[in-house]
A and B are shown apart, each in its own frame.
Chain A
Amino acid sequence: SAVISQKPSRDICQRGTSLTIQCQVDSQVTMMFWYRQQPGQSLTLIATANQGSEATYESGFVIDKFPISRPNLTFSTLTVSNMSPEDSSIYLCSAMSPTYEQYFGPGTRLTVT
């Protein structure tokens, strides 16, 4: 299994600002993903982070709002841009093993005031 770390673990941000979340995996993985977990809701996939190319976004999520980078096979970032209180959530990074399990990081708890 992969060990995944995220930074920051939590942050409180003001409306209109942006926050970049970092995700580091302890081994090379082919697939990395970013999910959002809102209170009382299911984990929802934001996008698949593709190494060396543009991320693949799910319906309802756009690159201007959630730009993603993946410069190599162990690292990815998610930026939450022009934040509003509705963006308050837990953001989770995951990595997929060769047998399709996804292992998750500890999450970043974001509060927008």
Chain B
Amino acid sequence: EDQVTQSPEALRLQEGESSSLNCSYTVSGLRGLFWYRQDPGKGPEFLFTLYSAGEEKEKERLKATLTKKESFLHITAPKPEDSATYLCAVQAGGSNYKLTFGKGTLLTVNP
């Protein structure tokens, strides 16, 4: 069974204080690893897909990296508007395209 574990559950940063979120996974044949951002009362917003170990993707202050066992979401010099819950999900190969999600990391960035 595919599993995704995210840590920490919650993270509080000061504006400008860089940090990383972790996503550990076990999956039978990874098709892709996905990062989403979710604001309160809204649906998840797609950020990145990573397909193979060693791959990196960047978007503004966010950079996602992937190894064979985990992914990191690095946040550089965060701003208060980066406050949200960040979700990680994996998709296994085959004909079932389901996403298996972790419980998320609640990030709070204080001004």
Interface residues of A (CB under 8 A from B): 1, 4, 31, 33, 35, 40-45, 48, 58, 92, 94, 96, 99-107, 109
Contacts and interface: CB of A to CB of B under 8 A. Distances in A.
A107 B97 contact: no
B97 A100 contact: yes
B87 A107 contact: no
B54 interface: no
4 interchain residue pairs of minimum CB distance: A104-B43, A42-B101, A43-B101, A45-B98
B99 A102 contact: yes
Nearest to B91: A100
Interface in B34-82: 34, 36, 41-46, 49
Interface in B70-111: 87, 89, 91, 96-104
Interface of B: 4, 31-32, 34, 36, 41-46, 49, 87, 89, 91, 96-104
A42 B103 contact: yes
28 contacts: A1-B46, A31-B97, A33-B98, A40-B103, A42-B4, A42-B101, A42-B103, A45-B98, A45-B99, A48-B97, A58-B98, A92-B43, A96-B97, A100-B49, A100-B91, A100-B97, A101-B34, A101-B46, A101-B49, A102-B34, A102-B46, A102-B97, A104-B36, A104-B46, A106-B42, A106-B43, A107-B43, A109-B41
Contact of A99 (B4, B49, B89): B49
A96 B4 CA distance: 20
Given A101-B34, A105-B43, A107-B41, 5 more contacts: A35-B99, A48-B96, A48-B98, A99-B49, A100-B31
